[in-house]
Amino acid sequence: MKRIFSLLLALVMVLGLAALFPPAQAKTGGKLVALTFDDGPGPYTSRLLDGLKERGVEVTFFMVGSSVSRYPELVKRMYQEGHQLANHSYDHPDFTGLSDSEIRSQISRTNALLDKAAGAGSTYMVRAPYGSTNSRVRSVVGAPLTYWSVDPQDWKDRNATTVKNRVVSNAHDGAIILLHDIHSTSVDGALAAIDVLLDEGYEFVTVREMFRRRGVALENGVSYTRCSPTGVDYGPVAEPVISSASVNGKLQITITAQEGTSIYYSLENGTLNQESKRYTGPFTVEAPCTVWAVAAYNMNGDRSKTVSKTFSKMACEPPAIQVTEEGILNLTRVTPGTDLFYTLDGTAATENSTRYTGMVPIEPGTEICACAGGASFFTSATARATYSHLGNFFRDVYMDQWYYPYVDQAVHEGYMLGTGFYEFAPTKPLTRGQLITLLYRYSGETVTQEELDACPFQDLEKDRFYVEAVCWAYAKGIVIGYDETTFGPDNSVKRQEMCKIFGEFLSYRGKLLPEGTGSAEQYTDAAQIPQWAIPYVESMTACGLILGDKEGTFRPGATAIRAQAATLLVRLSELEDTLPDAPTEPVPVEPEPTQPEEPAPVEPEPSEP
Ligand code: ZN
């Protein structure tokens, strides 16, 4: 007996302590309450919507399908103003007296009408007429069911003050309050109650939002009466953030929102719904314009307030930079009405940089940066170009790049040309056809008709820029192709392959290559070099033509780029005379051509590899 008493005492103490110290909760935020309006829409619903809008309050409407079809515009308005749409049957029968298929028809007809009125795609919560359900009804309904925790009996006592007082005195955190917007007195009473409860610190949310905020996942076939805090407070759906940047002369809009939400936006108006554009990534706009956006877990309830941002300034393009052969800097306005600014010291141009007013003489070895801007424009991106030490003009080669002196030299010597309008495309992959063409051009030789006729490769496209060079290289033993008929002119060149081709080229030129046995071992990735390539990699390394990178790797399988080809050609021109000649073997002396042929005009590199 004594033991039982002390157990009871302990239990009382534990319970008492539990009451004094409720379980630790995450920040639980304010008091939430969900007003629900049944049986509408009706003649007073638009007055209710006006009052809710004025107060910034969102509620849930459990509507009967027969009235939805009478007031579709009101349903659309509810939805656009952030209220939750929900299903209260088609014509208000007691579900417990219906067959399964009759219940399903009551639900599906109203769902279809709601979809039609507000935009398809919602999952509608259900409240059974009279709150009358049983386990069969709940399972047939196929949606979360909503009951209520506060019933002010507004349908019985048609007095606005009575309704207001009952709502106010019974409201509690997590309450679901039952009202009917088909009574004028309920509309007035509800709005008056909202004013009092807002003063008391209540926040009005839709039913769905209340459960989401409290960390409760709604399940189909379950009835929900109230919403207790679970210790998780997810907070209101945060408003999305609209930001902009000037990208390629266009105003680029980025919208970000809380993880897990979808963003809907519009450039036309602030009434957003599921049919509004769904944000999937940054997009560009023409200023002036306004962007409206909303973040939502479910557009039928859990959504943020709509935000908007107006962009009055326009984006603009940076100027086109040109340097004439006389070394005169010329900036050309791309977006009309912009002012142009530039720097000549490699720093990014801003609207505080030197204003461009006309042609500016500049020295070789100058990096030019320029931007556009002005009162009605966002500052453009910076355009950058180089007037090189050797007097070349590049839009895509800059003095701080490792390959700059080589590209400058290779272009100066005429080994390589740009791919287009002052663009060199330094990082573009090099193809086998291009590499052979560069060596052919470097050699200054000309293919003969016999060599062209003897060329065995069947994958050389007639009239392509590389045909003569490849046939010449085959004739000279510099390349042999993948097999007897395949050369692969458009395949990109790997670094290991580049070693072989340069090695064979030097041998053809009669040079004795250092063997450099073991020199590949200095590369940390030496093990990746295939057996056939090792002698070439070693001899190229030993003569200093091809080097590894700063990290000490060789990357034998990496694709060679145009900047590397420029580097190799320049090094080759510097090294070639220092290499000893190979011992001469008796070779048949070729007859001198009777007429020296004109050197072929140098063709520009194709822009496509
Ligand atoms: Zn009802």
Q: What's the pLDDT at 586?
A: 52
119 Cα to the center of ligand 1, angstroms: 24
pLDDT tens, position by position, 185-235 = 999 999 999 999 999 999 999 999 999 999 898 999 999 999 987 777 788
146 Cα to the center of ligand 1, angstroms: 12
Say how far apart CA 370 and CA 382 lie, in whole Å. Answer: 5
Bridge-based pairing of strands 241-247 and 277-278 is unpaired
The percent of residues above 70 in pLDDT, for the chain, comes to: 90
Cis peptide before 41 (omega within 30 of 0): yes
Q: What's the pLDDT at 315?
A: 84
**495-500-505 Cα angle (round to 5):** 120
Give the residue with greater pLDDT, 263 vs 590: 263
Q: Write the DSSP symbol of residue 282.
A: -
Give the residue with greater pLDDT, 247 vs 438: 438
580 Cα to the center of ligand 1, angstroms: 102
Catalytic choice (38, 39, 173, 408)? 38
Query: Could you tell me if 414 and 437 are in contact, meaning their C-beta atoms sit under 8 angstroms apart?
Result: no
Q: With 0-12 CB in 10 A as exposed, 13-18 as middle and 19+ as buried, what is 278?
A: exposed
272 Cα to the center of ligand 1, angstroms: 29
pLDDT-derived band at 51 (thresholds 50, 70, 90) equals: very high
Supply the pTM of this predicted model.
Answer: 0.55
39 Cα to the center of ligand 1, angstroms: 5
Q: What's the pLDDT at 42?
A: 97
Say how far apart CA 366 and CA 399 lie, in whole Å. Answer: 8
Query: Could you tell me if 36 and 207 are in contact, meaning their C-beta atoms sit under 8 angstroms apart?
Result: yes
Concerning whether 180 is annotated as a catalytic residue, the answer is yes
Say how far apart CA 523 and CA 247 lie, in whole Å. Answer: 41
pLDDT-derived band at 30 (thresholds 50, 70, 90) equals: confident
pLDDT-derived band at 600 (thresholds 50, 70, 90) equals: very low
61 Cα to the center of ligand 1, angstroms: 11
Q: What's the pLDDT at 232?
A: 79
Ordered DSSP codes for 415-484: S---SSSS---TTSBPBHHHHHHHHHHHHT----HHHHHT---S-PPTT-TTHHHHHHHHHTTS---SSS
Say how far apart CA 393 and CA 367 lie, in whole Å. Answer: 10
Q: What's the pLDDT at 376?
A: 86
466 Cα to the center of ligand 1, angstroms: 82
Q: What's the pLDDT at 220?
A: 93
Q: What's the pLDDT at 259?
A: 85
* Region for residue 510 given its phi and psi (left: phi exceeds 0; alpha: psi -120 to 50; beta: otherwise): left
Concerning whether 100 is annotated as a catalytic residue, the answer is no
Which range, 258-262, 296-300, 370-374, 524-528, is most confident? 370-374
Is the confidence at residue 603, as pLDDT, over 60?
Answer: no
Q: What's the pLDDT at 121?
A: 64
46: amino acid identity, one letter: S
Question: 546 is written with which tokens?
Answer: 């091809």
3-state DSSP percent of the chain in helix, strand and coil, to 5: 30, 20, 50
Cα end-to-end distance, the chain, whole Å? 95
Q: What's the pLDDT at 230?
A: 78
129 Cα to the center of ligand 1, angstroms: 5
Q: What's the pLDDT at 29?
A: 63
Question: 23 is written with which tokens?
Answer: 């379980």
Is the confidence at residue 21, as pLDDT, over 50?
Answer: no
| Segment among 68-77, 107-116, 141-150, 574-583 with least mean pLDDT | 574-583
Q: Which long-range contacts (CB under 8 A, 24 or more apart) does 485-489 make?
A: 485/456, 485/457, 485/458, 485/459, 486/457, 486/458, 486/459, 487/432, 487/433, 487/457, 487/459, 487/460, 488/432, 488/459, 489/431, 489/432, 489/433, 489/436, 489/459, 489/460, 489/461, 489/464
pLDDT-derived band at 605 (thresholds 50, 70, 90) equals: very low
Listed residues: CB within 5 A of ion ligand 1:
38-39, 129
Q: What's the pLDDT at 339?
A: 96
Smallest CA-to-CA distance from 95 within 36, 142, 152 is with 142
Say how far apart CA 65 and CA 76 lie, in whole Å. Answer: 14
Give mean pLDDT, residues 408-437: 88
357 Cα to the center of ligand 1, angstroms: 76
Q: What's the pLDDT at 22?
A: 34
Q: Write the DSSP symbol of residue 83.
A: P
8 Cα to the center of ligand 1, angstroms: 47
pLDDT tens, position by position, 146-168 = 999 999 999 999 999 999 999 99
Give mean pLDDT, residues 256-266: 91
130 Cα to the center of ligand 1, angstroms: 6
Catalytic choice (39, 154, 173, 180)? 180
User: What backbone torsions phi and psi does residue 129 show, to the nearest 5 degrees?
Assistant: -55, 140
Q: What's the pLDDT at 111?
A: 95
52 Cα to the center of ligand 1, angstroms: 21
Is the confidence at residue 602, as pLDDT, over 80?
Answer: no
Mean residue pLDDT of the chain comes to 87
